[in-house]
Amino acid sequence: MLNLNLIREKSDYVIERLKIKNFDASELVAGILKLDETRRRIQGETNSKEAEMNALSKSIGILFKEGKQDEANEAREKTSRIKDDIKELNLKLDEVSAKLQNSLVLLPNIPCELVPAGTSEKDNKLIRSGGKIPELGAAAQPHWELAEKYRLIDFELGNKITGAGFPVYRGKGAKLQRALINFFLEENQKAGYEEILPPLVVNEDSGFGTGQLPDKEGMMYHVSSDNLYLIPTAEVPVTNLYRDIILDESEFPIMNTAYTPCFRREAGSYGKDVRGLNRLHQFDKVEIVQIQHPDKSYETLDEMVKHVESLLIKLELPYRIIALCGGDISFASALTYDFEVFSAAQKRWLEVSSVSNFESFQANRMKLRYKSQENKGTILAHTLNGSSLALPRIVAALLENNQTGDGITIPEAIRQYTGFSRID
């Protein structure tokens, strides 16, 4: 949610910048400005009526105390009209405020200057790439065949237990998952992130805080009997740890990492793009989250990108880093870098991480603020997050890229976590 002050003071700038996201905000902004003005006017009227009422009530109390019954009763008669007015004004105020809020929530975050213009993923900008794409023979198999051949993942069994998109990992396949999770968590910890093990279901307020609600409720599984949502990413519970909090400036940066399963409904997707591990309803992911001072958030974003990159280098996977263009960047993000690894048998780039700076967009929804030394009052903090990393596609690339025909070689970096160096 954008700050109302910004819209008020720089409405042209807001409209102009949102064009980068291919979003025509002119009507919405005009509506917001009008609602804002109306709200302020009504609130002013309400407040002065309430002030009048408060003064009158107080004087009635004093009159009663002094035993001036008649005067008190006289004053009492005057109140009913004011009371009605207040009631009416408050109804209007609630209505206008709700409309204003509903409109504000529809505005996407303003992209920062580094976001390339564009309408779709073909306009994304390659930042850099690394690693070597392996030369596999014609006999190279995609990961879903390898997973079956070496009895690592059973997709059919998952269908029976739950449904499509819920694979069953077993044996070395299961252990590889656990090893990767440990590897990522340990690396994150070394980089200064505190580990969090959060709840996997969240309430509505949390869903709203990070922007999944009210708009994208279709992405989350809903536990209707308790009105809770299964988390689509650890970003939700971890960022919401700081909902409704006023930090001290000295607490920056807050660095958290969390492993969680992630649940995504992703309704309507099918076809070969979603085969195997490419897209799942339940998957494992290690996330990193930072809360940072507004002046330092872009510096922090770069650090996070370097950190995620270092993981891919250690896993010896061919990767590329991409700056998402205006048409591809998410609603809430101001700048996003995607990480993709090359899955050599499918011959496809697979997204394995998305690192974003949300600036104050989430903070405004969550009321995450800090007190600064020099300024009076509170200022919205900046939030950032990224995957480090999402497991399934990493596993897909690891299996495909490291296949030898009679087995799969485990990269050096995670052997201490797997306890084996080869799958065969």
Binding residue (CB under 7 A) for RNA from 67, 137, 163, 377:
377
Binding residue (CB under 7 A) for RNA from 12, 113, 374, 406:
374
Binding of residue 199 to RNA (CB under 7 A):
no
Task: Measure the CA–CA gap between 241 and 206, rounded to whole angstroms.
Answer: 9
Phi, psi of 247 (to 5 degrees): -85, 160
Angle between helices 172-190 and 391-401 (to 10 degrees): 120
Query: Closer to RNA at the Cβ: 43 or 282?
Result: 43
**Residues in CB range of 94: below 8 A, 6 or more apart:** none
Binding of residue 46 to RNA (CB under 7 A):
yes
The residue behind tokens 């048998």 is 345
Query: Closer to RNA at the Cβ: 335 or 366?
Result: 366
Query: Closer to RNA at the Cβ: 89 or 324?
Result: 89
Binding residue (CB under 7 A) for RNA from 13, 27, 57, 84:
57
Binding residue (CB under 7 A) for RNA from 12, 65, 67, 122:
65
Task: Name the minimum Å distance from CB 246 to RNA.
Answer: 6
Query: Closer to RNA at the Cβ: 58 or 132?
Result: 58
Binding of residue 159 to RNA (CB under 7 A):
no
CB 323 within 8 A of CB 354: no
Task: Measure the CA–CA gap between 367 and 383, rounded to whole angstroms.
Answer: 12
Binding residue (CB under 7 A) for RNA from 30, 51, 164, 174:
51
Binding of residue 371 to RNA (CB under 7 A):
yes
Binding residue (CB under 7 A) for RNA from 53, 112, 114, 196:
53
Task: Name the minimum Å distance from CB 222 to RNA.
Answer: 16
Binding of residue 101 to RNA (CB under 7 A):
no
Query: Closer to RNA at the Cβ: 26 or 46?
Result: 46
Query: Closer to RNA at the Cβ: 56 or 136?
Result: 56
**Residues in CB range of 191: below 8 A, 6 or more apart:** 255, 307
**Cis peptide bond upstream of 116, omega within 30:** no
Near RNA by CB under 7 A, which window of 27-35, 59-67, 115-123, 178-186? 59-67
* CA atoms lying within 13 Å on the CB side of residue 119: 0
Task: Name the minimum Å distance from CB 380 to RNA.
Answer: 9
Task: Measure the CA–CA gap between 238 and 290, rounded to whole angstroms.
Answer: 10
Query: Closer to RNA at the Cβ: 228 or 325?
Result: 228
CB 266 within 8 A of CB 392: no
Q: Which residues are bridge partners to 387 per DSSP?
A: 287
Which H or E run contains 303? helix 297-314
Task: Name the minimum Å distance from CB 417 to RNA.
Answer: 26
Binding of residue 58 to RNA (CB under 7 A):
yes
Task: Name the minimum Å distance from CB 303 to RNA.
Answer: 26
- Reported residue count of the chain is 424
Binding residue (CB under 7 A) for RNA from 26, 38, 129, 378:
378
Size of the site for RNA (CB under 7 A): 32
In a 10 Å sphere around its CB, with 0-12 CB exposed, 13-18 middle and 19+ buried, how is residue 366 labelled?
buried
The residue behind tokens 């059973």 is 154
In a 10 Å sphere around its CB, with 0-12 CB exposed, 13-18 middle and 19+ buried, how is residue 24 labelled?
exposed
Instruction: By CB under 7 A, name the binding residues for RNA.
Output: 4, 36, 40, 43-44, 46-48, 50-51, 53-58, 60-61, 64-65, 76, 79-80, 83, 246, 369, 371, 374-378
